[in-house]
Amino acid sequence: MNKNIALIISILAFGIAVFSQVRLSSLSAENQELKKQLTDMNSSGEEEEGEYELAVVMSRMQIYFHKLWFAGKNENWELANFYTHELEESIEELIEHNVEDDGVNVSNLAKIMTETPFHNLEKSVKAGVLADFETSYQNMMQTCNQCHQASGHGFIQLQIPQNVAFDNQIFEKKN
């Protein structure tokens, strides 16, 4: 009799153990599924964030590039140097983000296309020679437009700024 009870108990215990194992593994399967869903959500979220970043980086570049023109024209090289640096950071950020837009790897394009014209622009600002600045600025601007063409955004065209868009800032050198 005692033996039988012991047997029943051990069978029950075995049953419970098996049952909880099964529960556990189905739980971890659920976890896996949840994890996968979360990862999928995250990765598609990253792509959207990438597109968002691109527009933000571009409008920032537009502002710095605009201001750079007036700083340079006024031979305010300290200010021009500041905007060149800001522009450089934006370009670097764009390259680092590995952004794809409509199947075009914009970051790769940025890396290939901007290196030489940006380097020349930076050099002319460091040297503080107005004529060189004007030329290298135009070349950089052409690069902006060429990449817009290359990425299917040829309708975004930049020109040499006509008027200061930020009239609450002084672009002349402080003396």
* Contact status: 110 vs ligand HEC (CB under 6 A): yes
**DSSP characters over 47-110:** HHHHHHHHHHHHHHHHHHHHHHHHHHHTT-HHHHHHHHHHHHHHHHHHHHTT-EETTEEHHHHH
- In this structure, the strands spanning 104-105 and 100-101 are antiparallel
3-state secondary structure of 125: helix
Q: Choose one: 30-38, 69-77, 136-144, 165-173; the region binding ligand HEC (CB under 6 A).
A: 136-144
* Contact status: 109 vs ligand HEC (CB under 6 A): yes
Binding mask 55-84 for ligand HEC (x = CB under 6 A): x--xx-xx--x-------------------
As measured in angstroms, the least distance from the Cβ of 34 to ligand HEC is: 33
Q: Choose one: 16-24, 122-130, 148-156, 161-169; the region binding ligand HEC (CB under 6 A).
A: 148-156
Q: Which two tokens stand for residue 154?
A: 């040829």
* Contact status: 123 vs ligand HEC (CB under 6 A): no
As measured in angstroms, the least distance from the Cβ of 165 to ligand HEC is: 12
**Residue whose C-alpha is closest to residue 6's, from 17, 18, 14:** 14
Indicate which single residue of 22, 24, 38, 156 sits in contact with ligand HEC (rule: CB under 6 A).
Answer: 156
Distance CA 166, CA 3 (A): 94
Distance CA 174, CA 63 (A): 21
Q: Which residues pair with 101 in a beta bridge?
A: 104
As measured in angstroms, the least distance from the Cβ of 148 to ligand HEC is: 5
**Which residues here bind ligand HEC, judged by CB under 6 A?**
51, 54-55, 58-59, 61-62, 65, 101, 106, 109-110, 113-114, 140, 143-144, 147-148, 151, 153, 156, 158
